[in-house]
């Protein structure tokens, strides 16, 4: 099953999509898909209701698809986490996960427009496997324990402005990562119990129909379990928090000059095996 949020911005209603594509309304079980829902065994309650056939059918025609998680408290990101991406960037593989934060307010729906910031000339795409925490994780004992704290997975586009990120004084990546609309998420949250191995998923990005990124989560330097374990040593991960686990090779930053950064009018499409597909039109802020 796939957990979704449908409706206009600020008016999303929680829903579940069955494998056959049928949508059902779950607003009778929860007001939203958020940390409280995940912590309260919400996924299992929805699965039970779906199996029992007790959920009302929802007509999704014309409804916007929002991010599958209501605005998270934290969006934690991992940089340089694919071996080939590190090579194309000319950087040595990191010895431990590179961590930065993204403003949660930049999370938008998977089909919402991405806006190029004012004065930006280097806005880039990044397909990433997003991990959504379902159980509080603090000082975990091992990576093996970590996956028990994952509620599910989704597609994330960690949109980045490379000049703001890498060339501005101050050395903080957050400036190039937190602009409005810079984190399309979804179209759905796939429960961890139904996805299978998160380290064997194909990831792809197309820009204006041209394939740009084509990789597999097997190429991660630090797998999901190790990332969650590592982060739990430095911060408390709470239900509903999102972790962007890094992007593979094929971003504009790694291309020869002139680098094909995004421009208004471009169309970006992203796909991860088992997690659906995103599509964004690029506009100007």
Amino acid 229: pLDDT = 98
| Residue 4 in tokens | 């979704």
Peptide bond into 258 cis (omega under 30): yes
Look up the pTM and report it.
0.97
H helical segments located in the chain = 35-39, 42-52, 83-88, 143-146, 162, 192-195, 224-232
Amino acid 12: pLDDT = 98
Amino acid 91: pLDDT = 80
| Residue 81 in tokens | 């986490």
Q: How confident is the model at residue 168 (pLDDT cuts 50, 70, 90)?
A: confident
Architecture of the domain whose range is 67-284: Alpha-Beta Complex (3.90)
Q: Considering the chain, tell me which residue range(s) the CATH 3.90.850.10 domain(s) occupy.
A: 67-284
Q: What is the pLDDT of residues 199-235, one digit of tens each?
A: 999 999 999 999 999 999 999 999 999 999 999 999 9
Amino acid 31: pLDDT = 97
Q: What is the pLDDT of residues 73-118, one digit of tens each?
A: 999 999 999 998 888 877 889 999 999 999 999 999 999 999 999 9
Q: Tell the residue number behind the tokens 């324990």, with chain if given.
A: 145
Q: What is the pLDDT of residues 103-161, one digit of tens each?
A: 999 999 999 999 999 999 999 999 999 999 999 999 999 999 999 999 999 999 999 99
Amino acid 184: pLDDT = 98
Nearest to 260 by CA among 143, 134, 125: 125
Higher confidence at residue 86 or residue 259?
Answer: 259
State how far the Cα of 37 lies from the Cα of 72, in Å rounded to an integer: 12
């Amino acid at each position: 099953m796939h957990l979704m949020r449908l409706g206009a911005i600020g008016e999303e209603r929680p829903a579940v999509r069955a494998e056959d594509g049928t949508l059902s309304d779950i607003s009778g079980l929860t007001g939203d898909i958020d940390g409280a829902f995940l912590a309260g065994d919400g996924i299992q309650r929805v699965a039970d209701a779906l199996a029992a056939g007790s959920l009302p059918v929802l007509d999704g025609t014309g409804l916007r698809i929002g991010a599958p998680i209501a605005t998270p408290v934290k969006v934690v990101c991992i940089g340089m986490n694919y071996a080939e991406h590190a090579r194309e960037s000319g950087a040595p593989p990191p010895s431990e996960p590179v961590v930065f934060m993204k403003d949660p307010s930049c999370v938008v729906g998977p089909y919402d427009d991405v806006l190029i910031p004012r004065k930006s000339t280097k806005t880039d795409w990044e397909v990433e496997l997003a991990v959504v925490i379902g159980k509080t994780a603090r000082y975990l004992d091992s990576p093996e324990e970590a996956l028990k704290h994952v509620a599910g997975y989704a597609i994330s586009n960690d949109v980045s402005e490379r000049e703001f990120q890498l060339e501005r004084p101050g050395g903080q990546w957050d400036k190039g990562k937190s602009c409005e609309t810079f984190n399309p998420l979804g179209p759905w949250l796939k429960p961890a119990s139904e996805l299978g191995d998160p380290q064997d998923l194909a990831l792809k990005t197309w820009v204006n129909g041209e394939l740009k990124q084509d990789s597999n989560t097997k190429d991660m330097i630090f797998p999901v379990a190790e990332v969650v374990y590592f982060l739990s040593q430095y911060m408390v991960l709470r239900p509903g928090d999102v972790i962007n686990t890094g992007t593979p090779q094929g971003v504009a930053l790694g291309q020869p000059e002139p680098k094909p950064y995004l421009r208004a009018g471009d169309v970006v499409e992203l796909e991860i095996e088992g997690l659906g597909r995103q599509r964004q039109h690029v506009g100007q802020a």
